[in-house]
Amino acid sequence: MAKRCELCGKGPVVGRQHSHANNVSARRFEPNLQAVKAVVNGGNKRMRVCTRCLRSGKVVKAGPSKAA
């Protein structure tokens, strides 16, 4: 499964980690993806979105219906 946000397209980026002895090795910075049920086109859909999209309100989470 791809580590990519389904809304904004944020994916892994590469960088380097440095030890105290200045040894350098490659590493990947993964996006913080969460599996949520979201309302899309009037229906519920399971999506993997980053926490930035969740916090900014780009995702409307699907909750229990309040039919009384």
Can you give the pLDDT at residue 68? 54
Domain-embedded: residue 63:
no
- Contact between residue 28 and residue 68 where contact means Cβ atoms under 8 Å apart: no
Parent domain of 22: 13-56
Work out the pLDDT band at 67, boundaries 50, 70, 90: low
Please say whether the beta carbons of 5 and 53 come within 8 A: yes
Residue-wise DSSP of 20-62: TT--EEEEEE---EEEEEEEETTEEEEEEEEHHHHHHT---B-
Q: Is 62 part of a structural domain of the chain?
A: no
Q: Report which secondary-structure segment, H or E, holds 18.
A: strand 13-18
pTM for the full predicted model: 0.77
First to last CA, the chain: 39
Residue 68 lies in a domain: no
Q: Is residue 27 part of a domain?
A: yes
User: Per the domain annotation, does 19 fall within a domain?
Assistant: yes
Residue 1 lies in a domain: no
Whether residue 35 lies inside any domain: the answer is yes
Number of domain units in the chain: 1
Q: Tell me the pLDDT tens digit for each residue of 13-48.
A: 999 999 999 999 999 999 999 999 998 888 899 999
